[in-house]
Structure 1
């Protein structure tokens, strides 16, 4: 009784004894319910476990880092319009019924909204007009002039969807600090005929139609500075993914019509105020009705690599126009 203390009529002596025994039991030589050997085994187990966990995380990061490269963009092309992400998440199918306005409207409205946003950038004083040889700086970007696309892929024309000749907007994703290495342009930014010949000969997989287009346009220009301006382009080509797709597609038209691609003046991207991603329109002229067609579009520059499996440097979508 002399060792017993009470507080408010409650006896804590038994509790204190049990807790002190739990912390250190001199009879069993256990600390917090475990012997020294048990604690040693537990420490070794968790040490190995967390080392293994850290090694696994490091391996995952290493493998992921191998899919990235500082020399080439990981993903280059994006496109509009796109299926509703809420109802068709992951789908790349553009599907509508010709003559059904509500169907067509779903698609061309996306382009209408996108182009409207680009048009509004004209009011941003931080955006340059970039006429002639001007190009973007680290502080200011170049304005994307909607007027350059002509009168085919326009709001007034419903971007071709109601007529069955739909326009697809292709844009380059924003890659910080990246600039294209263009064919036929030397390190000083000047036109080099021999370099152009070598570059196009080494451009693996480039369609012969694009090579012909580039050569014929360069030969029609008399001034080297204008040739350099023309060649300062990320070229764009589209085609059916397989032979049957190519047969069902019909033909393509690219806008702006004076450059089958995106001018290099819009690069680099440095989060400039009012920056708009540059784009072009590709019109599918009279594609086969009631047939699912797989379309693949590619971007071309010396520092853009292509990998069909991983969709590097390209974009793929399907189109189905019901009659």
Structure 2
């Protein structure tokens, strides 16, 4: 049963950040966007996310990750939610997403409830942004002011998803390039802190345990005791599908222990530990976050707000999807009309639109 007290506490967080923090008037989005058109939106999001967590404690981390994987491909436009269709090649089947994205059903459940309360008003992109915020706070992490007013894309880009999303094998330079969309190195380190909860499958890091960079030896940056633990969980000739906690001590809580683990050589993915390799430009920030959780939380909030503003569609751009997995029927019909209008006419010329 959902705790109404916890729902109320989470909503108090939302009210506090809306009232207590300044808002830049030149931003594209507005945290008060739905105050009149869909006043119960925050309540619905929190309630459905909390209900989902009762049977799936991993859902908080999964929804935050889903928001990340949306924003860094075409921007925060809910393109990651689109299924394959006659006009869509889904980003869900891109290599960084395939068989690993979770929480899609929860976003759909939220959308169903939102449509009952305020039909065709709230976008899937905004719902996903709010679900990420609720997930952070419900896992004892920070709560931030979610700017709203995004619209949903009419397209997806699987190719861009393969190119833009970082892998668990990324180098520090590759991570910095990934974060270059209006974010700096501090934002990168803060967003990486989301690996303080969630899980990863063995095949994403097993090379570090037995044959790092084809050396026949383990990754020398791995803590020796941690290496022994991981080898038990991920045998060399195993299937690679076993799940391992990203944070070995507080796997379902949003806290600063991720940074302590990096300092101790216990980053699960190569892309985690490279942040604390010798002479890395990120070490100073990691130590600051490790020692001061409030500084980490403050920077995570700033990074999430900045990330949430990447490539957004507003005004008359895109649409408000009725179902998050598919563009609206009217849009599909328009796409078909456009394709048909480009087909060669009888005289071999392309018809005008």
Structure with bigger strand share is 1
Same fold (TM over 0.5): no
Query: Which has the greater radius of gyration?
Result: 1
Q: TM-score, normalised by structure 1?
A: 0.29
TM-score (norm 2): 0.27
Higher helix share: 2
